[in-house]
Structure 1
Amino acid sequence: MSEHNGQEEEIIAGKHPVLEALRSGREINKIWIAEGSQKSVTGPITAEAKALGIVVQFVDKRKLDAMAAGVAHQGVIAQAAAFDYVEVDDILAIAEKKGETPFILVLDEIEDPHNLGSILRTAECTGVHGVVIPKRRSASLTATVLKTSAGAAEHVAVARVTNLAQTIEKLKEAGVWVAGTDVSAAQDVYKSKFDMPLAIVIGNESKGMGRLIKEKCDFLVKLPMLGRLNSLNASVAAGVLMYEVVRQRRGQ
């Protein structure tokens, strides 16, 4: 039930993810709280749930351990309607509605749910209008991702697409420039311009971007590597790039 693959319900675990789900207007069916939990942790959740007429049940902590399947739940679990993915057109519409230059992340087979959660958290902080993930060979919005994102996943539009290459073509047709990240790229990220409608592609943790995806990009950039290791964690690299876009756009 914690995996989202067409099922109608999903588990959200942890104080912040549950609270953000409540505040974002997500459809919550029921909340379970471990007996003897600290009021400082559960108080805001029970208050929000009561105001929204959502059933809260106090149960043995072991029940939550079984439901959350290895996710640190902090004594709070919610059962919600399945995550509502958006279309790519919706992401472009979000930017237009805000009167902002589109800023999109495309994740090419990010497999680690902790990486996806961290990327979504930074995306929310940096004003990314939406994140695109493929349906196959990619982490999806599970309880682990929601927990790692500290609730940010409730506020970032996520599109889940069948064909990433076709989606990139669609973005380009809509006037969005597509920048790929590649360690062998000639262009330094700090010598690149990111003030146009932009989608940044972050590749797989170990393989990087796929060949076809790389060919679809308008240009490739690399982060300078000054140490002995030649690679950064995917979520850290994504974070550096997102904040470079923010830096440039704030300077306009």
Structure 2
Amino acid sequence: MEKQTKIYGIRAIIEAIESGKTIDKLFVQKGLQGELFKELNQLIKKENITYNVVPLEKLNRLTQKNHQGVVAQISPIDFHDLDSLVLQVIESGATPLFLLLDQLSDVRNFGAIIRTAECTGVHGIIIQKKGGAPVNADTIKTSAGAVFKVPICKVDHIKDAVFHLQASGIKVIAATEKTDNTLYDVSFNTPCALIMGAEGKGISPSVLKAVDEKAKLPLLGEIASLNVSVACGAFLYEVVRQRR
């Protein structure tokens, strides 16, 4: 099974960024200077890559190699372009089904959702570049390898993706308890996208304002909410049931 790749050395990391690799984590030695680092620093700013400034000891623990003061972890998958993916799905003649994850933070929930998405025919998963769970070894393991089969897109803001999907004729439905509608009151037979919120916080208010419809799961017990990956599974299988 493919694992998250660790790379080190300023030149190697510059080349990785320039070739379009997704940097999940970047560690930079405190006080690092020099012309080559200046070049890397400009690239980091240009590509809006977040990084952690750490002491030398931390970098030495990450790798025994000559790291030159920088160590990065590259995502094990290539991310897809949202515009191209939406167009491709529409042109294929299939009824689009997308899944948006609004800053979901737990990698195991993320992996479980990707696995369910693959089993239910989701055409693409959309996540935010910052603030969400990374695609790492735990995500891959929990997804049972589905992470390599379902296209994943990264966007600057989930709200931008909502507007883009709506402009492409795709209805956006939020899974939220802030509604009287249950998922059984909603039609999933047309092109649609489902938004799941973060653990604890749910869907952010600004995203919730932009959606076309809201739906909740009927909860018959005393506990007020389900685990997000379980809730996502219930929603996606209702889509499958309606579309059969």
**TM-score relative to the length of structure 1:** 0.68
Paired position in structure 2 for 1:249? 243
1:174 aligns with 2:173: no
CA drift of 1:90 comes to 2.9
Q: Measure the CA separation in 2 of the matches of 1:220 and 1:3.
A: 39
Q: What SS does the corresponding residue of 1:187 show, helix, strand or coil?
A: coil
CA drift of 1:95 comes to 2.1
1:144 aligns with 2:138: yes
CA drift of 1:185 comes to 1.0
Percentage of identical aligned residues: 36
Paired position in structure 1 for 2:102? 108
Which of 157, 161, 178 matches 1:184?
Answer: 178
Which of 196, 207, 220 matches 2:190?
Answer: 196
Q: What SS does the corresponding residue of 1:101 show, helix, strand or coil?
A: coil
Q: Measure the CA separation in 2 of the matches of 1:182 and 1:118.
A: 19
CA drift of 1:232 comes to 0.5
Q: What SS does the corresponding residue of 2:105 show, helix, strand or coil?
A: coil
Q: Measure the CA separation in 2 of the matches of 1:110 and 1:183.
A: 17
Post-superposition CA distance 1:147-186 (Å, at most 9, x none): 1100000000000111111111011001010000111211
Paired position in structure 1 for 2:112? 118
CA drift of 1:97 comes to 4.6
Q: Measure the CA separation in 1 of the matches of 2:75 and 2:177.
A: 40
RMSD: 2.5
Contact 1:114–1:148 (Cα < 8 Å) also in 2: yes
Which of 204, 213, 227 matches 1:210?
Answer: 204
The one-letter code matched in structure 2 to 1:152 is A
1:160 aligns with 2:190: no
Contact 2:76–2:135 (Cα < 8 Å) also in 1: no
Q: Measure the CA separation in 1 of the matches of 2:93 and 2:227.
A: 32
The one-letter code matched in structure 1 to 2:206 is L
The one-letter code matched in structure 1 to 2:175 is T
The one-letter code matched in structure 2 to 1:222 is K
Which of 1, 4, 17 matches 1:2?
Answer: 4
The one-letter code matched in structure 2 to 1:214 is L
CA drift of 1:81 comes to 7.8
Which sections of structure 2, spanning at least 5 residues, go unmatched? Answer: 7-12, 24-61, 64-72
**TM-score relative to the length of structure 2:** 0.70
